[in-house]
Structure 1
Amino acid sequence: MTCAPLSPVPQAAQFRRDPAQVMRLARLGLAHPTRLSFLRILLRRMQRETWQFDRPVFDIDANGVGRAMYRAIGPERTYSLVAFAHDLPADMRSDRVIATAWDATFALFDGVPDAEDLDRLAANVPLQEAGRVTQKELTLSRANRSVRLFETVVQCLSEGRQPSADDLAATGYLMRTTAVYGSGKFGAATHNSLTDRPETAAPFQAEMLTVWLIRTFTVDLVNHMAQLRGGAAAVPLAGGLRRSLGVGNSTGLGMAPFLVRHPVLLNNWMMVREEALARVRAQKATQADKVERFIQALTAAQQNAALWTSVHPLQQARLGALRAGLAQIATHVASDWDSGTDQPWDALWQWGQKVLGIEAQEALLALLLEPHGDLIDGLADCLSEDETAAFAIDGTQRVDELKALLAKNYNWALAVDYADRKAAGRFWYVSEDKLEPRLGERFEEPGSERELPLDIGRQAAALFDTLGDFAGDAPVARLLLAHPHHRAMVRRVQLTATRPFAEIRDNLIDGDMLPIDMLRCKLACFGASRFDPRSDRWVRISLFQNAPYPDDLHAEPHL
């Protein structure tokens, strides 16, 4: 890759994994967050640039109702999270996207809002979709309190007691967001309007800043309510317990199609990770401090895996495999791995490929990246790209060249019999009630005539069949003149010539396809942890767990 500001590592090319291995859902669905995840990129930038933070507004009563404002002050610009806290009756609390009331609502403001802005936001942000925001707002969000924990923590603190560490670990958050909207939704600023700003050039940086500041607001809120309730007897949440908390999130099928609709971004996210792994494996030697940092990361991963729980049988099995795999890595590193050998990191990786299951292999990938920030952090500049630049179709390409690309990069799709009921068992559509993508059972439910074009494998196979009707030296333009419905698929195939990670290499309408694998892939890129599927179609996660807060960000040694 050439977009990173670091010197290239030419020898890394031979260590890059084959996209045919990487882009299968069975592996993507076991992805782990890495130091190149979007939230880690944000934290490092704010630390590196010595951002400052304050809370100029915090007007909230004993019932947890009111408003607050948090400012993140960068070297050139300031961003303000405006929060509105509500006392929501339990019977109105819902994580569904069609909910109309929440415990807290938020907007990330570009700059510092004045009194008029705050009044405008107060009239609109609590309404979410029913309200209106402007180009001054970068995100719109809402969150609900944890039914299990929030009141318990407030009561404990008000009585001068710390809540149970085990209870906090079992949930991992005091609030969970049910949506964090950005990129122009509901009138907010578009992503394109922010790409010339270094701090928002990487993917989803405004959204990550929003969630990080929500985390701070949540802890401030329980401390404040406890103090008002308990007076002099109240105590704030202890630092270690505070650190263990993240922000929860419930994510469903609405997120999954993003990976299909944005093949350029998917390619970049995966290629950056694979390039980072290749650079680490290519190192001819290591240093003691990097080995120490690796072991620290391994210990932290084992601690996280021990606390990570799930009610879903599939995830429970995966967790068992992960814990066993991490234990194997720890034993091997302590007794058999020679960090002084030639290319020691590659030797460790090759051992893992032979011995570990896929879950632990992907965990090992994240661990190998952890000590090597000087080598790989510059790759964060390669994550984003103007997708319109890759939109044009090369109509002069020969049909036989297009066919060769199809055979090379879509062989997984061409081998499927889409006449088989199982192979075409599902269809993607937009729910009329929820206005979000959903997955239907083709032969059991109505609506397949409104199918979304996410059946990439079937489209690839149909294009391949059509190409057989044209001479090899015919231009692609002639094909598209006769069959314009193949335009989208031709574009995707041409993309893979230079973007080999642009496609999930699985049949996305197969009856056995697990949408949660798509969700985990994307959420790991964000930096999510503690994946807890509640079905094959939605998952709970945590963001920023064990990360620093604004008041201790600059004391953090490793980000």
Structure 2
Amino acid sequence: MTLQDERTAHQLRAPEEVLSSADMNGAWATRHSFARSMLRRAAARGWSIARTRTELDPDARGTAVYTVDAEGRQLTFIAFCRTLEESERTDRVVADAWDVTAALIEGDFTPEREAELRFNVPVQERGRVDPDTIILTRANRSARFFDYVSDCLASGSQPDLDAIGPSPYLIRSTAFYGNGKFGLKEFTDIPADHPLAVPYRSQMLTAWLLRELSMDMVEHVARAKAAAAGTKAVPLDEAWGRYLGLGNATGLGMVPFVINHPDYLDAWCRLREIPLAAGLGRVYAPDHPDIARVAELLARADRHLEEKHALHTTPFLATDTIRPQLQQLLEDLRSHQASATGPEPVLARLHEKAASLSAETRGIFASIVIELHTDFDEAAESLLRVDGAPPFEPATPCWELKELLETNYAWARGYDFTDPERTRYYWFSSAANEEPRRALRSTRPPGTAEHCTDIARRINDLAADLEQFPPHRSIADFLLAHPKHRFAAARVQQTRHYLYGELQDNLIDGEFLPLSTQRFQLATYGMNNFSPQSTDWLRVTLFSGAPRAVDINHGTDDDDWLFPTAPKGPEQ
């Protein structure tokens, strides 16, 4: 029996659960998150990574080049490094200088091509690149962590965990541009058999190479400091090399993406829900190895959260609130191990209990269930290759559109849009910030274009006018009479084949929390250490716990870095 068959043993969770803000508040990375699946493929398919050039001065200013042989495809990652004054560093999109700018390219890496990249990559949006350049990126050093770690290594010691804190990284990325921007390769031009043909795989590879660069840079600076002091530097030990990740900060610009791409939203949700349903549908005897594995991962998750006690998580639950809930689940699991006499659906029972405790605890337990089996790994990749929305069919009779509204959009009818709080915000493209923003509707300047994020309001307006229109007439006739409903009518048709194609929330509501949607997206990428800085943006870490290049080259990646824990000091 395949996993696709087994999912019928335990019904997929309903859209009103999966697509609610409350549930997304508890999203955690899984084995199918993009970072995990990229490195799993790299290890399984024998990718090789080499640092082929390091031309850096004592403060790591200069050029670094890495080559990747990915299943016969030759990729090059080139980084141009400098050092900014701390006052010049910003995570905002509108920055015009960074400590590191880099590109991932395919094809011959000639001196002429390098010269073009050297001219264009450091200026990012103001430059233009050739169509075999896949990704543009940039990053800044952490003023606290980079200098501290290089000082430690120069003195012959490893960093102290308390000094690093709950978000371990040396540099933080601020953008990953791809898919045609600034002349970059179009995603549709990547062949289906290419190792980067899965959406976001090229961004994940670039981010992982940035992380690799950050550790090579800090060791380079440490050696220079030690040489100047007449001492001997040490490299990062293996545990620290795995624990350090890549910092990132993400704002409101992500939210409209899932509104504009219901096909991606549906695929990303199924990426979680199908293996979860299959796992919950299985029955287990108390001595089954999977039960011991669940106990191990619950204990690891508890330790992970214990180490993150200083992380600012509001409005998400504090780690000290989640830990006792995990311990309850672990206690119940151990009771099952001690007293059960035969196979039982113990994971389904524990998942139900986790959901009653909090969204965060349910999300953690769901990630543990998904972790147990590898039989969805290949299918997960194919699931992510979406075909785009189906074409609009204006000849369809209005009664069919009305049925779709009643079946798929009943949730939207629960909002009373005569209440000003339900339309408190509007979304727009900010010229100053060069990305989507939201603002109070009461401050909206006349003529400002509003993004189509107000799905619930548009659906309600559509339903009201459709109710008064002859049901046998076509949608085309209806739109001739009510042209303002073109977007909403197409949207209802567009999402009819998607179980999870629409966020079931009102994005212009006074109570809508963008962080919920952002957390779901970031967890799908594979990020952790969610630390909101306001209601609109948060800091995260990517690849903490992940294998290094040496691990991939030696085939030693064990693909077991869910809930990464910190290196143990000598006294532990």
Asked if Structure 1 and Structure 2 have the same fold, meaning a TM-score greater than 0.5 normalized by the shorter chain, the answer is yes
The alignment status of 1:453 with 2:452, answered yes or no, reads yes
Question: Match for 2:105 among 106, 109, 113?
Answer: 109
Task: Give yes or no for contact 1:268–1:383 (8 Å, CA) kept in 2.
Answer: yes
Secondary structure of 1:170's match?
coil
Secondary structure of 1:15's match?
coil
Deviation readout 1:298-337 (Å, 9 max, x if unpaired): 233222212224335323x343332222222222222246
Secondary structure of 2:53's match?
strand
TM-score (norm 1): 0.94
The within-5 A match list for 1:426-445 is 426-445=425-444
Q: C-alpha displacement at 1:125, in angstroms?
A: 0.8
Task: Give yes or no for contact 1:12–1:281 (8 Å, CA) kept in 2.
Answer: no
Task: Give yes or no for contact 1:290–1:371 (8 Å, CA) kept in 2.
Answer: yes
AA partner of residue 301 (structure 2):
A
Task: Give yes or no for contact 2:250–2:539 (8 Å, CA) kept in 1.
Answer: yes
> Which residue of structure 1 lines up, in the alignment, with residue 210 of structure 2?
214
Secondary structure of 2:375's match?
helix
Distance 1:393 1:524 in 2: 32
> Which residue of structure 2 lines up, in the alignment, with residue 307 of structure 1?
307
Q: C-alpha displacement at 1:412, in angstroms?
A: 1.9
The within-5 A match list for 1:129-168 is 129-168=125-164
Task: Give yes or no for contact 1:145–1:174 (8 Å, CA) kept in 2.
Answer: yes
AA partner of residue 69 (structure 2):
I
Distance 1:458 1:135 in 2: 41
Q: C-alpha displacement at 1:513, in angstroms?
A: 0.7
Q: C-alpha displacement at 1:265, in angstroms?
A: 0.8
Distance 2:44 2:527 in 1: 22
Deviation readout 1:42-75 (Å, 9 max, x if unpaired): 0111111011111111111102111111112112
The alignment status of 1:201 with 2:197, answered yes or no, reads yes
Residue range with higher mean Cα deviation, 254-263 or 306-315: 306-315
Task: Give yes or no for contact 2:83–2:99 (8 Å, CA) kept in 1.
Answer: yes
> Which residue of structure 2 lines up, in the alignment, with residue 25 of structure 1?
21
The alignment status of 1:121 with 2:120, answered yes or no, reads no
Deviation readout 1:452-481 (Å, 9 max, x if unpaired): 111000011011011112122222222223
The alignment status of 1:421 with 2:417, answered yes or no, reads no
Deviation readout 1:133-184 (Å, 9 max, x if unpaired): 2211111111011121111111121121222122224331010001111121
Q: C-alpha displacement at 1:80, in angstroms?
A: 1.5
The within-5 A match list for 1:3-402 is 8-9=4-5, 12=8, 14-194=10-190, 196-231=192-227, 233-285=232-284, 288-308=288-308, 309-315=310-316, 317-336=317-336, 338=340, 340-353=342-355, 355-375=356-376, 377-387=378-388, 390-402=389-401
Secondary structure of 1:303's match?
helix
Task: Give yes or no for contact 2:93–2:434 (8 Å, CA) kept in 1.
Answer: no
Q: C-alpha displacement at 1:297, in angstroms?
A: 2.5
| Residues 250, 400 of structure 1: alpha-carbon distance in 2 compared, 3 angstrom cutoff | same
Task: Give yes or no for contact 1:154–1:226 (8 Å, CA) kept in 2.
Answer: yes
| Residues 217, 425 of structure 1: alpha-carbon distance in 2 compared, 3 angstrom cutoff | same
Secondary structure of 1:32's match?
coil
Structure 1: 5+ residue stretches without partners = none
| Residues 167, 94 of structure 1: alpha-carbon distance in 2 compared, 3 angstrom cutoff | same
Secondary structure of 1:422's match?
helix
Task: Give yes or no for contact 1:121–1:133 (8 Å, CA) kept in 2.
Answer: yes
Residue range with higher mean Cα deviation, 518-527 or 67-76: 67-76
Q: C-alpha displacement at 1:95, in angstroms?
A: 1.2
Secondary structure of 2:72's match?
coil
Distance 2:382 2:64 in 1: 33
Distance 2:394 2:9 in 1: 31
Q: C-alpha displacement at 1:251, in angstroms?
A: 0.6
AA partner of residue 299 (structure 1):
A
Secondary structure of 2:420's match?
coil
AA partner of residue 132 (structure 1):
R
| Residues 15, 23 of structure 1: alpha-carbon distance in 2 compared, 3 angstrom cutoff | same
Residue range with higher mean Cα deviation, 286-295 or 200-209: 286-295
Residue range with higher mean Cα deviation, 266-275 or 159-168: 159-168
AA partner of residue 155 (structure 1):
D
Q: C-alpha displacement at 1:112, in angstroms?
A: 4.6
Distance 2:270 2:32 in 1: 12
Q: C-alpha displacement at 1:201, in angstroms?
A: 2.7
| Residues 535, 369 of structure 1: alpha-carbon distance in 2 compared, 3 angstrom cutoff | same
Secondary structure of 1:547's match?
coil
The alignment status of 1:555 with 2:556, answered yes or no, reads yes
| Residues 288, 447 of structure 1: alpha-carbon distance in 2 compared, 3 angstrom cutoff | farther
Q: C-alpha displacement at 1:400, in angstroms?
A: 1.7
Task: Give yes or no for contact 2:391–2:494 (8 Å, CA) kept in 1.
Answer: no
| Residues 339, 107 of structure 1: alpha-carbon distance in 2 compared, 3 angstrom cutoff | farther
Deviation readout 1:96-133 (Å, 9 max, x if unpaired): 11111111111011135222211211111111111222
Q: C-alpha displacement at 1:195, in angstroms?
A: 5.1
Residue range with higher mean Cα deviation, 430-439 or 227-236: 227-236
AA partner of residue 272 (structure 2):
R
| Residues 320, 448 of structure 1: alpha-carbon distance in 2 compared, 3 angstrom cutoff | farther
The alignment status of 1:529 with 2:495, answered yes or no, reads no
Q: C-alpha displacement at 1:76, in angstroms?
A: 2.6
| Residues 303, 148 of structure 1: alpha-carbon distance in 2 compared, 3 angstrom cutoff | same
Task: Give yes or no for contact 1:290–1:372 (8 Å, CA) kept in 2.
Answer: no
Secondary structure of 2:523's match?
helix
| Residues 7, 20 of structure 1: alpha-carbon distance in 2 compared, 3 angstrom cutoff | closer
Distance 1:115 1:293 in 2: 52
| Residues 447, 257 of structure 1: alpha-carbon distance in 2 compared, 3 angstrom cutoff | farther
| Residues 106, 66 of structure 1: alpha-carbon distance in 2 compared, 3 angstrom cutoff | same
Secondary structure of 1:249's match?
strand
Deviation readout 1:461-504 (Å, 9 max, x if unpaired): 01101111212222222222333332222222123321020000
AA partner of residue 191 (structure 1):
F
| Residues 46, 447 of structure 1: alpha-carbon distance in 2 compared, 3 angstrom cutoff | farther
Residue range with higher mean Cα deviation, 457-466 or 334-343: 334-343
Distance 2:427 2:45 in 1: 43
Task: Give yes or no for contact 1:141–1:181 (8 Å, CA) kept in 2.
Answer: yes
Q: C-alpha displacement at 1:362, in angstroms?
A: 1.3
Task: Give yes or no for contact 1:272–1:380 (8 Å, CA) kept in 2.
Answer: no
> Which residue of structure 1 lines up, in the alignment, with residue 564 of structure 2?
none
Task: Give yes or no for contact 1:6–1:378 (8 Å, CA) kept in 2.
Answer: no
Deviation readout 1:494-517 (Å, 9 max, x if unpaired): 233210200000100001111111
TM-score (norm 2): 0.92
Structure 2: 5+ residue stretches without partners = 561-572
> Which residue of structure 1 lines up, in the alignment, with residue 570 of structure 2?
none
AA partner of residue 41 (structure 2):
R
Distance 2:191 2:514 in 1: 30
Deviation readout 1:260-302 (Å, 9 max, x if unpaired): 0101110111123111111112224478333333333323322
